[in-house]
């Protein structure tokens, strides 16, 4: 057993604390290359990660950087600095601790490179920037340990891939570097261990005592839930009651928009002025920090939040977690619940609020899964190539390199361990020459190979551009929102360009805490006016939606097969019975397709239960096929369980629409056209360094010099269809937004068992889809028809129709 | 040929879906702002290495417009090249392609702000050209009449039944006609921006590219 230095042991005992078994285990294993600790929140996880560093640094002999701590959140780095500072100062350890994030001042950053602290707390992006400097070898030479906090969150994103590539570099700069990962409960720890360890090093997995099962229930609410939407506003009063009864409540939402809307509604209902704050990633930093500080001081009774609070920041005495909206994913639900009650070995208390009637079913299914400890998760794909391309450029910034060395380094990252050499060479060629079939840039290559075989930047000034583009989070293009006829003044806020393009005059939405009315889109500005309405008609944020996991979807379909549903509230139970009477309920190995006319259009509803993204893709594919068959589809909308398509013509036999081979063929053709692919291309093109990121304030909108990345995508498709960027885009889309994998699963499940139910009116199960936001118009022949009609109408109105002839 | 026929300065003109202008009486095909060699220029200056196919793509489209109209006079209305170095450095297979298009046709290069000097590729180089009462120049001059120009890359937005369509467009009023950019790697300037709203009179039309192109009252930014 490894013994701690006496001053640390004394500090523990004077406080009446003993070391947790997993903390001792971490100490005992500290000389081994890699450990992954799985522990619930409040289990002293962070201390378990840092104790070996404190022990090693206690005698004050280590010079320079000893431990690097990386967390997905800036706030977490700052939080840990505070929490570490206290014991270190109390014990009187000679340890310098600093953080380095996007918020650190330039002077501070410069000094950190020249004279690094013993412990540096940072984020994946800041670390990527650090290894791009020429002095990185000096800075990291003595590095002993790296601690990655909340690795379960990073492991699911490109930020994690970027981080692991950076670690592969650090392991070269500091041979013998030991790695530690800290994770919340996950379904497959060995998958994370594989990503964390330097390949092929072993990684020990330590499981702390998970503590007692959480106390989790569906919240009792007197009002019936609405048919659609995700706001959960009908539950406001019940939520306020709970807030009153508890010390501190976290109210989680799945999206920022829902959090905003809920907070807005709470404000109107909060008659006894309970101090309640809001926290999400789109808020300004100052605003977030104010809320965080108030939370730590214990000034807030509740905080309305999103995933930005998912991660392990210590928010003081939280004794209740409320999840508004179906959790979509059992694992995330369990992790969120873990946020309540930081006292080790006390059960966490949580309530779920289904936001609509379908979510009632989903919540009941999720609760079953939690009780059965049945966590969900998808196998991790191999490391994405756009991140690899960025890493190659980052490496080039730091100085010349041999391709063989870099390849060896990269394949030591678990996610890239299987990277074939030819794929690496293609990525290197892409970074150097653009990688085009037409060798146009031999003179203007970005990377040149020197006579000694090393690669280096042609123009050393290129480092600046590369560093400005570091990072794997790509924000959608945003448009400013302003009051109409206000000259100058601060804009109210920003909305996504895509969202703005869907607005119609008169639509109301929430912006910066007030409801506004859309007037017009003027170049780069969304013009709005004041409106007396208290209820915004549409949500502001359309961004990523989490898809309901395969496991959860399966549980729901299984529930449908019951004769009755005594577990469900009467309103939901009656609804399912009505659906069974009028049409039928979806079954696991069959596909239910309903067709019916409504509002002068023909509708088709397919219940695939494949999750939001796959249902969206299914909508795109089906409408494409319908377009080819001359059925004039106009648009579609989807949820996690169904896709609803409307068009001009009725579908009499849906079976041919669902032929797998045809869908796959359509997929290939469709890839060339659709906006999802173009958005995916844009993101990957930015990450891979094909185009520059639109930096804040640097956007040259309204200049005829800029053109859309859509044009680049179309051009590549036409003239260089085998280009590596297209391959990257396709792979990305297949597993991300397109999620074709789940369509394949669904098709395999249903085979040719398609149940077509033609009806004369909307069915109970389809009805909520009509209220769903996020309708996707189909760009087809209907487009020119609309253009013709509207052009004719405008000319007529303007009295110009004669002139146009 | 799916064009939109209209009259400007007593000339019967056709706006083609590609953004080219066809003047049947003169057997003239006019295209503006090709920006050939844009990818080359960006790479040369240390910018992004974009797919180097925009010259090929632009010439492909021009070639089909020439075939469809059987034009005998091609007029490129300025900014035909992204800069003069790009014109000089064009790969031989591209200059060959261009030469085959130029063969046996009258070809006029109008000077633009990106290509303010002659190029060594054949054809006639002019600052501007007057033809049957109409003047062709790159940048519109306020106060001039019967003028056809390019430069601004106009585009317009239209909302129909809740869908917003954004298209490149021709702008036309009694005195001037402005062509959309024809080049592949070109962006656009919305016609409700002050520069274009000030230039075009009230009552101007925007002819939105489509098959066929459609005229609408020009959306303005000053109303």
Of A767, A496, A758, the residue nearest A637 (C-alpha): A767
pLDDT at A385 over 90: yes
Check residue B223 and give its pLDDT: 46
CB contact under 8 A, A702 and B193: yes
Count of pairs with CB atoms under 8 A, one residue in A, one in B: 135
Q: From the CA atom positions of chain B, what is the Rg in Å?
A: 17
- Asked if A411 contacts A419 with a C-beta cutoff of 8 angstroms, the reply is yes
CA–CA separation, A78 vs A76, rounded Å? 5
Class of CATH domain A6-207? alpha beta
What's chain A's average pLDDT? 85
CA–CA separation, A445 vs A468, rounded Å? 19
Asked, colleague to colleague, whether A6-207 and A215-371 share their fold, the answer is: yes
Mean pLDDT, to the nearest integer, of A172-186? 93
Check residue A309 and give its pLDDT: 65
CB contact under 8 A, B49 and A444: yes
Q: If you measure CA to CA, which chain A residue comes closest to B5?
A: A805
- Asked if A118 contacts A66 with a C-beta cutoff of 8 angstroms, the reply is yes
Which residue among B57, B192, B208 places its CB closest to the CB of A787? B208
CA–CA separation, A378 vs A186, rounded Å? 11
Which of A215-250 are b and which e, b meaning 16 or more Cβ less than 10 Å from the residue's Cβ?
ebebbebeeebbbbbbbbbbbbebbbebbeebebbb
pLDDT at A307 over 80: no
Check residue A706 and give its pLDDT: 66
Q: By mean pLDDT, which of A182-186, A720-724, A787-791 is the weakest? A: A787-791
CA–CA separation, B98 vs B86, rounded Å? 14
Q: By mean pLDDT, which of A68-77, A532-541, A570-579, B92-101 is the weakest? A: A532-541
**What DSSP designation does A549 have?**
P
Query: What is the per-residue pLDDT across A71-122, written as a single tens digit (0 to 9) for each?
Result: 987 777 888 888 899 889 999 999 999 999 877 888 999 999 999 999 999 9
CA–CA separation, A602 vs A674, rounded Å? 23
**What DSSP designation does A116 have?**
-
Which residue among B46, B57, B160 places its CB closest to the CB of A719? B57
**A799 CB-contact burial (10 Å; exposed 0-12 / middle 13-18 / buried 19+):** exposed
**Interface ipTM:** 0.90
Mean pLDDT, to the nearest integer, of A29-49? 88
Distance from CA of B203 to the nearest CA of A (A): 9
| Residues on chain A touching B44 (C-beta within 8 angstroms) | 443-444
Rounded to a whole number, what is the distance in angstroms from the first to the last CA of chain B? 35
> Virtual CA dihedral for A305, A306, A312, A313, nearest 10 degrees?
-40
**A119 CB-contact burial (10 Å; exposed 0-12 / middle 13-18 / buried 19+):** buried
Distance from CA of B176 to the nearest CA of A (A): 16
Substitution target in A526, A707, A801 with the highest count of B β-carbons within 10 Å is A707
**What DSSP designation does A12 have?**
H
Distance from CA of B184 to the nearest CA of A (A): 7
Substitution target in A787, A792, A794 with the highest count of B β-carbons within 10 Å is A787
CB contact under 8 A, B57 and A718: yes
**A477 CB-contact burial (10 Å; exposed 0-12 / middle 13-18 / buried 19+):** middle
User: Which residues fall within 8 angstroms of residue B133, CB to CB, at 6 or more apart?
Assistant: B9, B10, B11, B146
CA–CA separation, B9 vs A186, rounded Å? 73
CB contact under 8 A, B208 and A804: no
pLDDT at A705 over 60: no
Check residue A1 and give its pLDDT: 73
CB contact under 8 A, A720 and B51: yes
Check residue A339 and give its pLDDT: 66
pLDDT at A704 over 60: no
Of A221, A304, A767, A231, the residue nearest A537 (C-alpha): A231
Query: What is the per-residue pLDDT across A732-784, written as a single tens digit (0 to 9) for each?
Result: 877 766 677 788 888 888 888 999 999 999 999 998 888 776 677 665 555 66
| Residues on chain A touching B56 (C-beta within 8 angstroms) | 719
CB contact under 8 A, A705 and B157: no
How many C-beta atoms lie closer than 10 Å to residue A200's C-beta? 9
**Quick one: CA dihedral B184, B186, B187, B190, positive or negative?**
negative
Substitution target in B19, B49, B91 with the highest count of A β-carbons within 10 Å is B49
Which residue among B186, B203, B216 places its CB closest to the CB of A791? B216
- Asked if B153 contacts B33 with a C-beta cutoff of 8 angstroms, the reply is yes
CB contact under 8 A, B205 and A705: no
Which residue among B51, B91, B203 places its CB closest to the CB of A719? B51
| Residues on chain A touching B157 (C-beta within 8 angstroms) | 521
In CATH terms, B4-217 corresponds, of 3.90.580, 3.60.21, 3.30.70, 1.10.10, to 3.60.21
Which residue among A438, A504, A708 places its CB closest to the CB of B52? A438
CB contact under 8 A, A719 and B49: no
Q: Which two tokens stand for residue A785?
A: 């028809």
Check residue A222 and give its pLDDT: 87
C-alpha distances in Å from residue A254, one per residue of A164, A332, A337, A549, A796: 28, 11, 14, 14, 47
C-alpha distances in Å from residue A671, one per residue of A197, A474, A529, A613, A644: 36, 21, 39, 15, 21
| Residues on chain A touching B161 (C-beta within 8 angstroms) | 786, 790
CA angle A103, A264, A570 (to 5 degrees): 125
Check residue A700 and give its pLDDT: 43
Q: By mean pLDDT, which of A118-122, A504-508, A543-547, B89-93 is the weakest? A: A543-547
More confident residue, A446 or A283: A446
| Residues on chain A touching B163 (C-beta within 8 angstroms) | 777, 783, 786
Distance of CA A295 to the CA centre of its chain: 25
Check residue A517 and give its pLDDT: 85
| Residues on chain A touching B12 (C-beta within 8 angstroms) | none
CA–CA separation, A569 vs A564, rounded Å? 12
C-alpha distances in Å from residue A271, one per residue of A235, A265, A267, B155: 15, 12, 8, 51
More confident residue, A696 or A440: A440
Domain residue limits, chain B: 4-217
What's chain B's average pLDDT? 93
CB contact under 8 A, B51 and A462: no
**Quick one: CA dihedral B30, B31, B36, B41, positive or negative?**
positive
CB contact under 8 A, A790 and B187: no
Rounded to a whole number, what is the distance in angstroms from the first to the last CA of chain A? 93
A215-371 placed in CATH 3.40.50.300:
yes
Domain residue limits, chain A: 6-207, 215-371, 400-468, 478-530, 583-694+708-786
CB contact under 8 A, B185 and A444: no
Peptide bond preceding A200 in cis form (omega within 30 of 0): yes
What three-state secondary structure class fits A482?
A: strand
Which residue among B40, B208, B217 places its CB closest to the CB of A440? B40
Distance of CA A368 to the CA centre of its chain: 25
Q: By mean pLDDT, which of A80-84, A171-175, A487-491, B193-197 is the weakest? A: A487-491
Query: What is the per-residue pLDDT across A712-746, written as a single tens digit (0 to 9) for each?
Result: 999 999 999 999 999 998 888 777 666 777 888 88
CA–CA separation, B137 vs B79, rounded Å? 11
C-alpha distances in Å from residue A746, one per residue of A228, A769, B89: 24, 20, 53
Check residue A664 and give its pLDDT: 80
């Amino acid at each position: 057993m490894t013994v701690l230095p006496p001053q640390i042991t004394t500090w523990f005992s004077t406080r009446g604390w003993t070391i947790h078994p997993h903390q001792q285990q971490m100490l005992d294993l500290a000389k081994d290359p890699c450990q992954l600790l799985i522990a619930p929140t409040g289990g002293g996880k962070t201390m378990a990660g840092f104790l070996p560093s404190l022990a090693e640094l206690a005698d004050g002999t280590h010079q320079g950087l000893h431990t690097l701590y990386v967390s997905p959140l800036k706030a977490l780095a700052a939080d840990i600095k505070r929490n570490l500072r206290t014991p270190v100062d109390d014990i009187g350890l000679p340890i310098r601790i600093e953080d380095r994030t996007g918020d650190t001042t330039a002077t501070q950053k410069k000094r950190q490179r020249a004279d690094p602290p013993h412990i540096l707390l940072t984020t994946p992006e800041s670390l990527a920037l650090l290894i791009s400097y020429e002095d990185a070898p000096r800075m990291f030479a003595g590095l002993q340990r790296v601690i990655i906090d909340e690795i379960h969150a990073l492991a699911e994103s490109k930020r994690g891939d970027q981080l692991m590539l950076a670690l592969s570099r650090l392991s070269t700069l500091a041979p013998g570097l030991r790695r530690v990962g800290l994770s919340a409960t996950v379904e497959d720890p060995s998958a994370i261990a594989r990503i964390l360890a330097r390949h092929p090093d072993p990684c020990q997995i330590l499981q702390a005592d998970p503590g007692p099962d959480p106390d989790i229930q569906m919240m009792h609410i007197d009002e019936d839930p609405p048919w659609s939407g995700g706001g959960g506003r009908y539950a406001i009063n019940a939520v306020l009651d709970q807030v009153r009864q508890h010390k501190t409540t976290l109210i989680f939402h799945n999206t920022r928009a829902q959090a905003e809307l809920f907070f807005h509604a709470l404000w109107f209902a909060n008659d006894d002025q309970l101090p309640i704050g809001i926290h999400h990633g789109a808020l300004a930093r100052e605003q977030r920090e104010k809320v965080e500080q108030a939370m730590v001081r214990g000034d807030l009774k509740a905080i309305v939040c999103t995933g930005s609070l998912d991660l392990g920041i210590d928010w003081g005495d939280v004794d209740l977690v409320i999840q508004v909206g179906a959790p979509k994913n059992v694992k995330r639900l369990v992790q969120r619940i873990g946020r309540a009650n930081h006292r080790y070995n006390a059960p966490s208390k949580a309530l779920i609020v289904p936001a609509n009637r379908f979510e009632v079913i989903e919540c009941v299914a999720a609760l079953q899964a939690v009780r059965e400890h049945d966590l969900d998760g998808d196998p991790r794909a191999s490391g994405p190539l756009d991140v690899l391309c960025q890493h190659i450029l980052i490496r080039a910034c730091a100085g010349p390199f041999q391709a063989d060395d870099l390849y060896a380094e990269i394949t030591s990252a678990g996610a890239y361990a299987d990277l074939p050499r030819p794929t690496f060479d293609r990525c290197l060629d892409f970074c150097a020459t653009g990688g085009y079939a037409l060798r146009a840039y031999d003179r203007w290559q970005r990377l040149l190979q020197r006579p000694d075989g090393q690669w280096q930047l042609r123009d050393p000034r290129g480092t600046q551009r590369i560093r400005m583009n570091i990072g794997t989070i790509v924000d959608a293009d945003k448009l400013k929102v302003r009051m109409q006829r206000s000259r100058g003044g601060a804009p109210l806020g920003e909305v996504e360009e895509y969202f703005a393009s869907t607005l119609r005059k008169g639509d109301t939405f929430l912006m910066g805490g007030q409801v506004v009315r859309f007037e017009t889109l003027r170049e780069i500005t969304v013009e709005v006016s004041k409106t007396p309405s208290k209820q915004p008609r549409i949500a502001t944020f359309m961004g990523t939606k989490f898809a309901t996991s395969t496991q959860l979807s399966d549980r729901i379909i299984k529930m449908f097969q019951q004769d009755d549903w005594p577990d469900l509230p009467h309103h939901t139970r009656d609804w399912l019975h009505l659906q069974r009477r009028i049409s039928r309920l979806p079954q696991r190995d069959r596909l239910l397709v309903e067709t019916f006319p409504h509002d002068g259009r023909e509708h088709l509803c397919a219940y695939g239960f494949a999750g939001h993204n796959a249902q969206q893709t299914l909508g795109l594919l089906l409408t494409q096929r319908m377009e080819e068959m001359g059925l004039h589809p106009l648009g579609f909308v989807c949820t996690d369980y169904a896709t609803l398509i409307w068009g001009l013509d009725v579908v009499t036999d849906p079976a041919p629409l669902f032929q797998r081979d045809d869908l796959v063929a359509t997929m290939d053709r469709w890839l060339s056209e659709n906006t999802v692919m173009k958005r995916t291309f844009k993101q990957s093109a930015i990450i891979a360094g094909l185009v520059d990121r639109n930096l804040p304030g640097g956007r040259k909108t309204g200049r005829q010099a800029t053109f859309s990345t859509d044009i680049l995508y179309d051009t590549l498709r036409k003239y260089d269809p085998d280009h590596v960027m297209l391959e990257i885009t396709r792979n990305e889309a297949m597993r991300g937004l397109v999620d074709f994998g789940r369509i394949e699963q669904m098709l395999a499940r249903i085979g040719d068992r398609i149940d077509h139910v033609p009806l004369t009116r909307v069915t109970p199960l389809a009805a909520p889809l009509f209220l769903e936001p996020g309708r996707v118009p189909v760009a087809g022949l209907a487009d020119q028809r609309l253009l013709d009609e509207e052009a004719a109408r405008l000319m007529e109105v303007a009295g110009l129709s004669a002139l146009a002839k | 040929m799916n064009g939109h026929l209209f009259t400007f300065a007593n000339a019967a003109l056709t706006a083609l879906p590609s953004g080219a202008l066809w003047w049947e009486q003169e057997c003239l095909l006019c295209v503006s702002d090709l920006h050939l060699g844009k990818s080359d220029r960006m790479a040369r200056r240390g910018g992004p290495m974009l797919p180097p196919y925009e010259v090929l793509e632009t010439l492909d489209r021009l070639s089909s417009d020439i075939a469809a109209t059987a034009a005998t006079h091609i007029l490129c209305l300025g900014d035909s090249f992204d800069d003069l170095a790009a014109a000089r450095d064009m790969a031989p297979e591209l200059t060959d392609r261009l030469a085959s298009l130029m063969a046996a046709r009258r070809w006029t290069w109008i000077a633009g702000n990106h290509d303010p000097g002659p190029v060594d590729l054949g054809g006639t180089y002019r600052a501007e050209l007057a033809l049957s009462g109409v003047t062709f120049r790159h940048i519109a001059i306020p106060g001039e009449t019967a003028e056809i120009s390019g430069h601004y890359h106009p585009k317009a937005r239209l909302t129909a039944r809740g869908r917003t369509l954004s298209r490149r467009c021709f702008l036309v009023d009694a005195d001037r006609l402005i062509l959309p950019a024809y080049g592949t790697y070109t962006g656009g300037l919305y016609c409700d921006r002050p520069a274009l709203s000030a230039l075009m009179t009230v009552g101007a039309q925007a002819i939105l590219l489509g098959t066929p192109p459609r005229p609408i009252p020009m959306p303005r930014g000053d109303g």
